[in-house]
Structure 1
Amino acid sequence: MMPPTEGRKLYQNIATAISKAIRNGTYQPGQRLPPERELAEEFNVSRPTIREAMIALDIMGLVEARQGSGIYVTHSRPAEQSDDLDIGAFELTEARRLFEGEAVALAATTITDEELTELSAILADMVDENERDIVGDQADRRFHVAIARATRNTAIVLVVETLWDLRYKSPLCRNMLARARAVGVRPLVDDHVEILDALKTRDPRKARAAMHHHLGTVIENLLTATEMEAVQRAQSEVAARRSELARRTAL
């Protein structure tokens, strides 16, 4: 296992190691990188960490996905940009799962009927956003922040808001979420209904379990959706549809 570098995120250590291997010729331009599972075993890290590292290398212009084939080296030197892409979506969602699980448990003991009604209204907005494919997941954010506010603890509200804002401030996280949306990932309405139902029972353990389940599912969906080959397939399908539409309208 590669020893961690102090002050750096784990995905950055992996991306740096692979970029060095590309620069020193271990991996040549045009060469296929080892499969994700092999890299995870080599560096003794999780698949999400390797996924974040691969996406970071893709953003830097060092690798690309080829449909049905794998990840290939494109250049030996990165584009002119910092390799510090900040927090990835997996790391951020894991933090949310830990923190918001306890926040919703506390909220279950303090939430009012009026706040439950507000959450129901936000859920309706979430359904509308999904149907209209609105980017930004604003109703999703409002739902989780409203739960934080129901705790009557301003520090909890600040932390939840900060974690949500990092989704948009972190280049790596923003890129990963865009990839997920490209292959159809949307806010999970049924999961939010379960969270709301648990809050209505005022049961902290049930509320915590519902939140843990929800954000665990988010992590799994991100893992599937950010598979670079899956994104390439989605892009190819969109390009094919556009080509077919152009051909038909030209008749």
Structure 2
Amino acid sequence: MRSIWNGTISFGLVSIPIKIYSGSEERTLDLDMLDKRDLARIRYKRVNENTGEEVEWKDIVKGYKEDDSYVVLEKEDFDKANMKKSKTIDIEEFIEEKDVADVLFKKPYFLEPQKDGEKSYNLLKNALKDTGKLGVATFVMRAKENLSLIGVYKDALVLHVIRFADEIRDPADLKLPDTKVSKKEVDMAKSLIEQYTEEFDFEKYKDIYNEQLLKIIKAKRGGKKTKVEKFESKPTPAKDLMAQLKASLDKKKKKKTAS
């Protein structure tokens, strides 16, 4: 397996360098688009709309249109928007799993009744809501069979597309460590998790990356240089683990006292 992201995951003052791998794979048939007259494959070309000539990938850049002109963005501009978030998965708090609505972590489709289906729609909705159950269903969409769960979200029936078992990759292919961790270290980490545990309120999480990227675009448009946020994350050495856990707990306690 090839990693798709390299960086750091952190909680408190503990930093762990990681690689991310895709945990699933598609099972769709590889179908080509053909010309029905002679079954020749259809190819897409990247064409300059002014000259009509094909453009090579190396000559293609991304740009943000403002008024009648473009601001061209380089790869480093996307990192500048938030250097830390481009390199770090920062755990801000821990929550109870039951507090997270399914709609947040699965691919959702909301369901609306058609004419004469209103009563049976409400019947299923109310029954699922009262029992706390989810319906398991399979259906075909866009030439692909889907496994799904049907539940209730904000007074509407919602369908979550989930994976078939054979679409989930085996994590046995990962090089996982067998390093021993002491009970004292685990207990300290559990205390840290408890200190960071709060009731989940997803309204307080805002997507600030696009806002920061727009600032860079406006600065480039005005011919100004943006100040690069320097960020470097180093793995927490094994010998410093307890000290960093303790410092994290102290920091959180001080923050709670101050508020």
TM-score (norm 2): 0.19
Which has the higher Rg, Structure 1 or Structure 2? 2
* Structure with greater proportional helix content: 1
Q: Which has the higher contact order (CA 8 A, sep 6+)?
A: 2
